[in-house]
Structures are given as structure tokens and as C-alpha cells.
Amino acid sequence: MLAYHIAKAGDAPALTDIPTPEPGPGQVRLTIRACGLNFADLLMQSGTYQDTPEAPFTLGMEVAGEINALGDSVPGLQVGDRVAVFGGGGGLAEQGVYDATRVVRLPDAMSFEHAAAFQIAYGTSHVALEYRAGLKAGETLVVLGAAGGVGLTAVEIGKLMGARVIAVARGTDKLEVARKAGADHVIDGDTDDLRGAIKALGGADVVYDPVGGDAFKAAFRACNPEARILTIGFASGDIPMIPANHLLVKNISVLGFYWGGYMAFKPAVIVDSLKTLTGWYLEGKLNPHISHSLPLSEVAQGMELLRSRKSTGKVIITP
């Protein structure tokens, strides 16, 4: 089968013909219909992601497809079931093997493409905003990188939770995408005074930051007393230093957040969140935004869309 594969450490990924895997006990094999790309896939290519596996490995963290084979001891699932999986890898391939405990059945109303765009992006924003930051109705939420894969879902979910949402993104087109997702106010991230623009709108009670760098520094300085800042990632490549004395003066909390980590030490948080999110989807309250859907042969182009920040929402690969 074809897979977007890294053969050994230091190698660039390439489409490679590798053996089709067989499911072991407690595992299922999928025919992969859709795989969502994530910024973490880029970091894995360079070996800088916190959960980069040892080579050889296949990229692709979240998938949707149909079960085509079962290992021993897999109750409650059968061949032909439509499912989604956060596997952490192996998704950019024609088939993949996953632990059955990670498998989630898909509602008939959810397409494979939407399912592959759903788990990480919506899960990250929902658990971060509700469980970690305790976002309350009426508070002001500032979303940096608001047209990206996770940022756009933070705009949607923040609005659903009753917040006043300020979206920060670069360029008219991306700002319009954020506005359509529910943002009350939009700010071009290229402004010379991001701090002043946020302060002029009343300051931030919660900051959702997948960007880091100068954007973090500006939003930090625009925080209201008792604000919470969620560090989601560092797409800018710049990990900011935090002046602890400012935390003290304003009673600000900076909260680290890594959605995948909960799978290891508190999986019920993710399970409960996905149940809530699926309910919202079926009620028509969530609408995954997919800017590009590409075949497996064009996965390198999909990665470049992420790297160059030319996509909005999610990029999906359809093996």
C-alpha cells in the first residue's frame, strides 16, 4: 500500500509502497478515507514534535474510514463500521492499524472528511476553553491565528459558549473566514499595535494562542485582571518568555495545553468532550471548515499549504 513515510531519522517523507499492516489483538485495520493534516505533522518531519515516533513511521494523526479487518479480542466493532481514530500517526496511507480503544463510531450524518477535520481541532478548542480556562458567557475571548486549523474552531466554540470573540488573523480573506465563524470583532495580525487594538475593544479575559512570538507578547500586555492565557502551540517558531512579575501584578494565569496528552493520563476528559462536540455537530451548531481536500498523491502540496499558511481551517487528504 502507499504511505507518506519516513524511512529513517533525518530522511524527508516520501510516498512509499510499504507492506499492508495486519491487526494484532485488540486492534482494527481501516481503509482510510480521509486524514486531517495538522501543524504537528510538519514538526514530526523535522523531529521537533514532543511525540515524534522513532523512524520508520508514517505521518498522519487523525483519520476516518471503514474497518476492513479485526484482530482478536475486539468486542463491539465489526467489518464495515464507519469510524474515526486519533491515532497519533499512520493516517497518510491507504490503510492503517489502530488500537480499538481509540476508535469512535461515526454518526451516519457525518462525512469522512468532516470526521477527519473534527477530533484534534474541535477537541483542542473545547477542552482548552471549557476544561482548562473555564471560559464564561460574557467574557472576552481573543483568538490568535483565528483562521487556522485550531483557531477557527476556537472562534466557533467560544461563540457557542457565550463569549464575545475577537479574532486575530492576517489578511482580509482570513478575517472574513473568522467573521463567518462567529467572531464579533476582527483584527489584522499585521497591525503595528496589536496590544492597542485589543485594549481598544476592552482587553482580553481569555487568550487562545497557537501562534506564540510577538502575538503572544501583545495579547499578554492586553490582558485584563484575572485573565487566562492558553498556550496551544508556537506556529510562529518563537517560544515567548513570560515576565512573571506581570502575572503577579494582574493576577494572570498562563495555562499550558496539549490535547493529546489527556489520552495518556485522563482520557475521560477527551471522551466526554467528543460526546458534547458530536452532539453540537448533529444539531448543526458546528460546521468544519475545509479549505483544501487533496488526494494522497498531493500530500506534499498539502503540507506546504500549512507551512506557508495559505490554508484556512483544515487541509484534508483523501487516500
Residues 302 and 240 in one domain: no
Residues 127 and 108 in one domain: no
In a domain, 33, yes or no: yes
Residues 136 and 212 in one domain: yes
In a domain, 42, yes or no: yes
In a domain, 281, yes or no: no
In a domain, 271, yes or no: no
End-to-end Cα, the chain, rounded Å: 10
Residue % of the chain over a pLDDT of 70: 100
- End position of a domain, from candidates 214, 244, 259: 259
- 140-149, 250-259, 269-278: lowest mean pLDDT where? 269-278
Residue 221 pLDDT? 96
**Grid coordinates 483584527 are at which residue?**
187
Residues 247 and 126 in one domain: yes
DSSP state at residue 117: T
Number of domains in the chain: 2
Residues 189 and 242 in one domain: yes
Residues 101 and 136 in one domain: no
Which ranges in 161-227 belong to alpha helices (H)?
Answer: 172-180, 194-200, 213-221
Residue 237 pLDDT? 87
pLDDT band at 47 (very low <50, low <70, confident <90, very high): confident
**Grid coordinates 503577579 are at which residue?**
248
As a whole number, mean pLDDT of residues 133-143 equals 98
What average pLDDT is seen over the chain? Answer: 95
**Grid coordinates 498539502 are at which residue?**
302
In a domain, 282, yes or no: no
In a domain, 265, yes or no: no
The CATH number covering residue 177 comes to 3.40.50.720
pLDDT at position 50 over 90: no
Residue 264 pLDDT? 83
In a domain, 239, yes or no: yes
Residue 246 pLDDT? 87
**Cβ atoms 215, 194 nearer than 8 A:** yes
Residue 48 pLDDT? 86
The CATH number covering residue 41 comes to 3.90.180.10
Residue 216 pLDDT? 97
Residues 14 and 94 in one domain: yes
Residue 298 pLDDT? 97
pLDDT band at 271 (very low <50, low <70, confident <90, very high): confident
pLDDT band at 267 (very low <50, low <70, confident <90, very high): confident
Whole-prediction pTM value? 0.89
As a whole number, mean pLDDT of residues 276-293 equals 95
Residues 148 and 165 in one domain: yes
As a whole number, mean pLDDT of residues 154-181 equals 97
In a domain, 47, yes or no: yes
Domain ranges, residue 131? 121-259
Residues 77 and 143 in one domain: no
Residues 67 and 190 in one domain: no
Give the Å distances, CA to CA, from 244 to 142, 145, 251, 282.
21, 24, 10, 43
- End position of a domain, from candidates 222, 242, 259: 259
Contacts of 248 (CB under 8 A, 6+ apart): none
Note the pLDDT tens digit of each residue in 288-307. 999 999 999 999 999 999 99
Residues 128 and 255 in one domain: yes
Residues 15 and 43 in one domain: yes
**Sign, Cα dihedral of 75, 77, 79, 83:** negative
Note the pLDDT tens digit of each residue in 194-216. 999 999 999 999 999 999 999 99
Contacts of 222 (CB under 8 A, 6+ apart): 142, 194, 195, 196, 198, 199, 203, 204
Residue 124 pLDDT? 96
